[in-house]
């Protein structure tokens, strides 16, 4: 019974039409572990995230999926007493090596957070924040980048007349798309999304999901979500994590319809988690 | 708990709250009303012709033609007084020496108090002291002086078991039957014409320098000194305090050294201000000798130490109150630590930091003890900017104290003292008001 309903719910899968299975690896985790003090939040994960695909991470709360996501641009550094083991390879380098410049890494790996976190500045200044950091001062150039980023984030038509208005005056869904535009403005190669729709209503969620489908053509996207339907709808590949361990990782449709691991099956059919 | 008990408790609590607020409001009223009422008398008062004379001669203010007209009228009203005095002097000369002696000292007293009331007697040499060159400038003081002319005071110590009793006898009785007798009723009746009191708005009280140690003029040197000291203290304390707060919040790793530092800062905030004053004297003046004598520089440095802990603590709280998500967003976009602080954290925490700054500004403006040994003098000219490096200055808090304890003519200048208190309170209140407005504006901008 439970299985029937669950299966019925998850019946729409991402259909990007170009899935041949063979594509370049963009990020690779090799025996990667992450510790908060003594606690091992991510345990020896091996994972290859392909280029220009949407990879979803699912799993119960506290399973380490967000930690793994935030390890990709070293946002965990903000928390004192974290340490990493193994390797996280991006562009041929282990990003946890000593000589890595975190600032450059983060400029290449953009991130969208759970709650919309726009700056208390104008819409324009929000999007222009990243480019300005990179030293772009030319007004025309900035204007073009801002417009392009806002168009890519499918919010241009809604805000083009009030670019100088404070971003905090927008709705939650608009703010989140502005955050995506802000992340796109630094021209990243990878976009990390940490439960980007969990604070939004269904309508705004649908818009963001559509947007992810479009962004897929140009960016590698890694998305953490609590919502299994969402993972099924937007992703090409899905990773299931449990207690810090990567239990199963593979083609989304296959993972949801025919999981190899019984734990995965239990989780996606709603028996636990 | 039963519903009724709960309701009763609720009511009791809101009642207590109301009472507390009412008590506070009454206390505020009790403090502010006399300050405003008495302080305003330094600015708005009944000014006599002597006030206008001082303004014209000492501050080059007013219309000379109109004043001369007024002076002529007043002189005409005063002329009989001087005639009577001359007549009495002639009368005295004709007296026998014993009789003359009896009147002579009493007459001297009358002469002196009339000089104090109306100014120097025409035709006599101009006195050296400025305060003796003019009569009473304020009508309230005029009435006091009139009383001194009309009555002689003597202390009666005849009862050894009691304190001395002040006995006032009308001088007219003493001079009964002489040429001087009609002077007293004349003076009482025609004082109005002699002094010509008019309601005067003397707003220049703030911007005028003082003449003859506050007997005439305003309090500009004190106001300017206070501004110099406060701004100087800010100049040192704000950058240091804000940078220290940023370091403590954003850069420092939590550890024993940092906890110890925090304890030190809290302790520093509780050190009595007089201790800071003595430290300033010992360190800035005697040890590293920032200037040869007391100076605004040394005072500012001492004050900046005093307010530094407040600025650090309030800035720290403001910075910690910035949502973590702002910081994450900036770092996620590839901003370095320094950039994050400059472009996101500081703008977002600005209202809180500003509040702390202005509160400490109010404190720096009003502190007395730290500047006694390091910067303040009782009398002085307004300083030029570069003189602040080496010269001491009068300042409102110190001079308020000084005027009411050490001035040789305390009674004459009560209004100046109240005016200073009023001005100081006004400066602090305006600063706070400014902070509230600025804070509201920035918060509104941040909220969108």
- For chain A, the residues whose C-beta falls within 8 A of a C-beta of chain B are 73, 75, 78, 80, 103-104, 106-107, 110-111, 113, 115, 117-121, 129-130, 133-134, 165-169, 179, 182-183, 186
User: Is residue A250 within a helix (H) or strand (E), and if so which, with residue range?
Assistant: strand A245-251
Question: What is the pTM assigned to this prediction?
Answer: 0.82
Would you state the pLDDT for residue A272? 67
Site of tokens 């500009």: B220
**CA-based nearest residue in chain B for residue A119:** B326
Q: Which residues pair with residue B45 across a beta bridge?
A: B200
Token pair listed for A138: 């030319």
What pLDDT score does B444 carry?
Answer: 80
Average pLDDT over residues B4-31: 95
Per-residue pLDDT reduced to its tens digit, B114-147: 999 999 988 888 888 888 899 999 999 999 999 9
| Residue of B254, B326, B331 with shortest CB distance to A119 | B326
Closest Cα in chain B, distance from residue A39 (Å): 20
Nearest-CA distance A263 → chain B (Å): 34
In this structure, what is the dihedral angle of CA atoms B417, B419, B422, B426, given to the nearest 10 degrees?
Answer: -130
Question: Which residues of chain A does B327 touch, with a Cβ-Cβ cutoff of 8 Å?
Answer: 78
Q: What confidence score (pLDDT) does residue A5 get? A: 39
CA distance B392 to B395: 9
Share of chain B above pLDDT 90, in %: 58
Residue among B328, B334, B447 minimizing CB distance to A186 = B334
Range among B211-215, B269-273, B298-302 rated most confident: B298-302
Average pLDDT, chain B: 90
Residue identified by tokens 């500004």 is B361
Q: What is the reported pLDDT for A4?
A: 41
Q: Which helix (H) or strand (E) holds A220?
A: strand A220-224
A27 DSSP β-pair partners: A49, A90
Whether pLDDT at B221 is above 90: yes
Instruction: Provide ipTM, 2 decimals.
Output: 0.83
Taking the C-alpha atoms of residue B118 and residue B146, their distance in angstroms, rounded to an integer, is: 10
Which residue, B143, B133, B118, B141, is CA-closest to B211?
A: B133
- Nearest residue on chain A to B448, alpha-carbon basis: A166
B332/A75 touch (CB, cutoff 8 Å), yes or no: yes
Under an 8 A CB cutoff, do A106 and B334 touch?
yes
pLDDT bracket for residue B435 (50, 70, 90): confident
Q: Which is the CATH superfamily of the domain at B220-447?
A: MetI-like (1.10.3720.10)
> Is A87 exposed, middle or buried, given 0-12, 13-18 or 19+ CB atoms closer than 10 A?
middle
Q: Tokens at residue B91, please?
A: 């009368």
CB B280 within 8 A of CB B305: yes
Confidence at residue A2, expressed as pLDDT on a 0 to 100 scale: 39
The backbone torsions φ and ψ at residue B154, rounded to the nearest 5 degrees and listed phi first, read -140, 145
Q: Are A103 and A187 in contact (CB under 8 A)?
A: no
Res B69 pLDDT > 90: yes
First to last CA, chain A: 18
Residue from the list B325, B333, B344 with its beta carbon closest to the beta carbon of A186: B333
User: What gap in Å lies between CA A87 and CA A98, rounded to an integer?
Assistant: 12
Residue listed under structure tokens 């925090």 = B262
Q: Say yes or no for a CB contact (<8 Å) between B326 and A113.
A: no
B362 and B432 in contact (C-beta within 8 Å)? Answer: yes
What pLDDT, on the 0 to 100 scale, is given for residue B27? 96
pLDDT band at B179 (very low <50, low <70, confident <90, very high): confident
Contact assignment for A78 to B328 by CB distance below 8 Å = yes
Domain ranges of chain B: 50-200, 220-447
pLDDT along chain A (273 residues), means of 10: 42 59 79 89 90 90 89 86 88 85 88 89 92 89 92 88 89 90 90 88 86 88 90 90 89 87 85 65
Predicted local confidence at residue A19, as pLDDT: 54
- B141-163, pLDDT tens digit by residue? 999 999 999 998 888 888 888 88
| Contact between chains at A107 and B323 (C-beta distance less than 8 A) | no
Q: State the nearest Cα–Cα gap between B236 and chain A, in angstroms.
A: 30
- Is residue B278 over pLDDT 90? yes
Six-digit token string for B12? 């009791």
Provide, as residue numbers in chain A, all residues whose Cβ is less than 8 Å from the Cβ of B448. Answer: 120, 165-169
Q: In B, what residues contact A, Cβ < 8 A?
A: 253-254, 323, 325-336, 339, 343-344, 347-348, 445-448
Looking at A34-171, list the stretches that DSSP marks H as alpha helix, in order from N- to C-terminal side.
65-71, 102-108, 123-133, 139-152, 156-159
User: How deeply is B231 buried, as exposed, middle or buried, from its count of CB atoms within 10 A (0-12, 13-18, 19+)?
Assistant: middle
């Amino acid at each position: 019974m439970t299985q029937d309903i669950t299966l019925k719910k998850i019946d729409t899968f991402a259909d990007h039409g170009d899935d041949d299975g063979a594509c370049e690896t963009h990020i690779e985790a090799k025996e990667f572990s992450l510790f908060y003090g003594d606690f091992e939040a991510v345990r020896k994960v091996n994972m290859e995230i392909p280029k220009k695909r949407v990879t979803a991470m699912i799993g119960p709360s506290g399973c380490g999926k967000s930690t793994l996501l935030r390890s990709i641009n070293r946002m965990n550094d903000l928390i004192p007493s974290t340490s990493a083991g193994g390797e996280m390879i991006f562009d041929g380098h282990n990003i946890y090596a000593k000589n890595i410049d975190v600032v450059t890494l983060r400029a290449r790996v953009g991130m969208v957070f759970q709650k919309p976190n726009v700056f208390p500045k104008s819409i324009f200044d929000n999007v222009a924040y990243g480019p300005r950091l990179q030293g772009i001062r030319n007004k025309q150039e900035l204007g073009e980048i801002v417009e392009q980023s806002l168009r890519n984030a499918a919010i241009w038509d809604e805000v083009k007349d009030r670019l100088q208005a404070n971003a905090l005056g927008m709705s939650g869904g608009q703010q989140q798309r502005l955050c995506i535009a802000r992340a796109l403005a630094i021209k990243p190669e990878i976009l990390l999304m940490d439960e980007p729709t969990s604070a939004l209503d269904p309508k705004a969620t649908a818009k963001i999901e559509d947007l992810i489908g479009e962004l897929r053509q140009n960016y590698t996207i890694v998305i953490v979500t609590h919502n299994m339907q969402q993972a099924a709808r937007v992703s090409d590949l899905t990773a299931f994590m449990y207690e810090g361990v990567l239990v199963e990782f593979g083609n989304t449709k296959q993972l949801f319809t025919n999981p190899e691991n019984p734990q995965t099956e239990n989780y996606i059919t709603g028996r636990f988690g | 708990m039963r519903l009724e008990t709960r309701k009763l408790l609720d009511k009791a609590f809101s009642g207590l709250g109301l009472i507390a607020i009412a008590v506070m409001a009454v206390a505020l009223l009790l403090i502010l009303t006399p300050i405003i009422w008495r302080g305003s008398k330094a600015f708005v008062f009944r000014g006599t012709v002597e006030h206008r004379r001082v303004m014209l001669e000492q501050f080059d203010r007013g219309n000379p033609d109109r004043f001369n007209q007024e002076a002529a009228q007043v002189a005409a009203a005063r002329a009989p007084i001087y005639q009577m005095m001359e007549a009495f002097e002639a009368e005295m000369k004709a007296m026998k020496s014993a009789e003359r002696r009896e009147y002579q000292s009493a007459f001297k007293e009358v002469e002196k108090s009339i000089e104090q009331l109306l100014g120097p007697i025409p035709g006599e040499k101009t006195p050296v002291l400025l305060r003796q060159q003019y009569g009473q400038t304020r009508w309230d003081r005029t009435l006091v002086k009139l009383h001194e002319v009309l009555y002689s005071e003597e202390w009666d110590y005849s009862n050894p078991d009691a304190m001395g009793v002040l006995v006032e006898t009308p001088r007219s009785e003493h001079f009964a039957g002489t040429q001087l007798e009609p002077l007293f009723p004349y003076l009482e009746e025609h004082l109005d014409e002699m002094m010509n009191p008019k309601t005067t708005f003397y707003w220049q009280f703030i911007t005028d320098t003082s003449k003859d140690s506050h007997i005439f003029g305003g309090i500009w040197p004190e106001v300017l000194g206070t501004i110099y000291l406060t701004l100087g203290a800010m100049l040192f304390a704000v950058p240091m305090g804000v940078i220290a707060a940023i370091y403590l919040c954003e850069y420092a790793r939590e550890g024993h050294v940092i906890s110890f530092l925090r304890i030190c800062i809290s302790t520093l905030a509780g050190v009595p201000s007089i201790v800071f004053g003595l430290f300033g004297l010992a360190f800035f003046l005697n040890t590293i000798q920032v200037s040869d004598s007391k100076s605004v520089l040394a005072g500012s440095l001492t004050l900046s130490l005093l307010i530094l802990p407040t600025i650090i603590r309030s800035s720290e709280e403001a910075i910690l109150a910035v949502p973590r998500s702002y910081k994450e967003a900036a770092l996620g976009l590839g901003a370095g630590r320094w950039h994050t602080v400059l472009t996101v954290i500081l703008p977002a925490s600005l209202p809180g930091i500003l509040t702390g700054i202005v509160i400490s500004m109010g404190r720096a403006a009003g502190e007395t003890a730290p500047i006694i040994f390091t910067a303040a003098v009782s009398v002085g000219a307004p300083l030029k900017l570069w003189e602040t490096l080496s010269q001491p200055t009068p300042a409102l808090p110190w001079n308020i104290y000084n005027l009411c304890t050490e001035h040789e003519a305390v009674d004459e200048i009560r209004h100046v003292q109240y005016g200073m208190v009023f001005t100081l309170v006004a400066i602090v209140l305006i600063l706070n008001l400014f902070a509230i407005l600025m804070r509201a504006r920035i918060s509104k901008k941040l909220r969108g």
